[in-house]
Structure formats: C-alpha cells, structure tokens
Amino acid sequence: MRDGIIIQARTGSTRLHNKILLPFYKEQRIIDLIIGRIQAAHPDKCIVLATTNRPQDNVLAQVATEWGIACFRGDEENVLDRFIGAAEAFGLERFIRVCSDNPFLRPETFNLFFESHDEEPADYIAYAFADGRPTIKSHLGLYAELTTLEALKRAAAQTQEKLYIEHVTIFLYTHPEAFKVKLLALPKVLEGRLDLRFTLDTMEDFTLLQTLYQTVHEETNGSVEALLDVVEAHPEYRRKMLENIACNEK
C-alpha cells in the first residue's frame, strides 16, 4: 500500500486572492511553510501538490518544482475528481488530505492517522470534537484527514452534487452508513475549543495569524500548548478570532 500526502491548493480564492503566495513570515509564503514542514516530518512520503488546470495556477506548479515534489492539475470546481486523479497518477492507495490555508498545520500527527488505519482500516480518519464534529468542520486549522482512493471513487460514483465534489471528504463522514468513519479524540487541551480560528480565508485572518505565527515561532517551542498560551495571553487575538468565525461560518 503506497502512502502519500496531497496538498489542495489554488490561487483563485474568492475571499483573499493569492493568499497562500503572499509573504507571510520572513518572506516565506504559507505554501512554503506547509511544504517545508511536511517534507521535514515525512521525507519518505510521496507529496503531491494538487492544483487546478487554470493558467493562473501555473505558479503553483512552479512551486512544486522548486520544492521537488509532485504536481497534479485538474478541475478547479470538481476537487473530488482532482484528488482521485492525483492519487491515481502517483499510485496512492491512502493519503493525508491537506488544505493549504492552514499555517499552523501539525504534520507530525499524520503518522497517527496512518497507524490508526493500519490497526483498523477505515474510509475516513480524522480528529473530532466530543460531539462528533470532524476538525475540518471547525475553524481549528491544525489537523488534516486521511482517506483512500477507493473511498473517494465510491463517493464520486454516488454523487456529483456541488457540495460534495467541492469539499472532497464531506460525503464520507456525513454518510457513515455507507463509509467506515473513524474519529479520533482531540488532545484534551483542544476539546470544546470552537472559539479558536487558525485557518485563513480573509485579510483579517492573514494579519492576525501572521502576528501570531511570528510570536509562536520566535518566542516559544512551537507546541500546540504554547500556541494556546499565546492566544490566552492576548485577549484581543481571541476576540478577533471570534469575530472572524462569525463572519466565516463552516
């Protein structure tokens, strides 16, 4: 079974165009930070940047070349099909799906998902809150999710509804009668923390997370606990996060 990591990326975000290519930390872009940390944590894995076939995303194909990782280009709107194509192109039977707008992503947790799949195979594996909500349905932006090529093919055969082809895995975890879904308990420090937003959609997010990233990177050990400590030490950060959550409902 060949494992991989597929990073979903495009430049055409409607809320903040080119957000992953804007200088974020010491001239490094968010896409650079994400790829670099994934490579460091998983040098043995096939890493694929899955972008669109639109000319404006040629720059992302160039990013993949610069980092020495694979690139797959597919339909902009049918992201489900793009992931299926990427997995097929590089022979990936199971893989981690990464969203490219999460600068605080924790790649060190990917092995936990692979190990969980080794112990008990499933179509979908992710961290979730106690109420059963996968983290992808929150604003946390710290964790990815595992799925398989076979599961996505089954999903595509059952639906081409816009919601499901745009959001890739949502059909899996909303249809547990048809797919084996395994949800892992979040670290205790994050349980119930629906007031946190470390994902990036708007310029307001960008500005806040840029400031937060610099502090965490330069003044702490970079752990999740340290990240939370910085947020708690600056009530204005959490207040802004709550405002951004209200404006960008998942």
Q: Residue 166 domain-assigned?
A: yes
Tell me the C-alpha distance between 83 and 71, whole Å.
Answer: 11
How many structural domains does the chain have? Answer: 1
**Is there a domain that residue 224 lies in?**
no
| pLDDT for position 250 | 62
Q: What is the CATH number of the domain that holds 127?
A: 3.90.550.10
Give the rounded distance of the alpha carbon of 246 from its chain centre: 21
pLDDT averaged per 10 residues, the chain (length 250): 93 78 92 97 97 95 97 96 98 97 96 97 97 95 98 97 96 97 96 94 93 96 96 95 86
Q: Is residue 23 part of a domain?
A: yes
Contact 183, 128 (CB under 8 A): yes
Among 100, 138, 119, 126, CA closest to 21 = 100
Residue 245 forms part of a structural domain: no
Confirm whether 202 is domain-assigned: no
Residue 248's pLDDT is 82
List the domain range (segments joined by +) for residue 14.
3-192
Answer yes or no: is 214 within a domain: no
Contact yes or no for 212/204 (Cβ under 8 A): no
In a domain, 150, yes or no: yes
d(CA 131, CA 32): 34
Closest CA to 84 of 60, 44, 48, 111: 48
Domain membership flag for residue 39 = yes
Crossing angle (nearest 10°) for helices 30-41 and 58-67: 40
User: Which stretches of the chain are assigned E, i.e. beta strand?
Assistant: 3-8, 23-25, 28-29, 46-52, 70-74, 94-99, 124-128, 145-148, 181-185
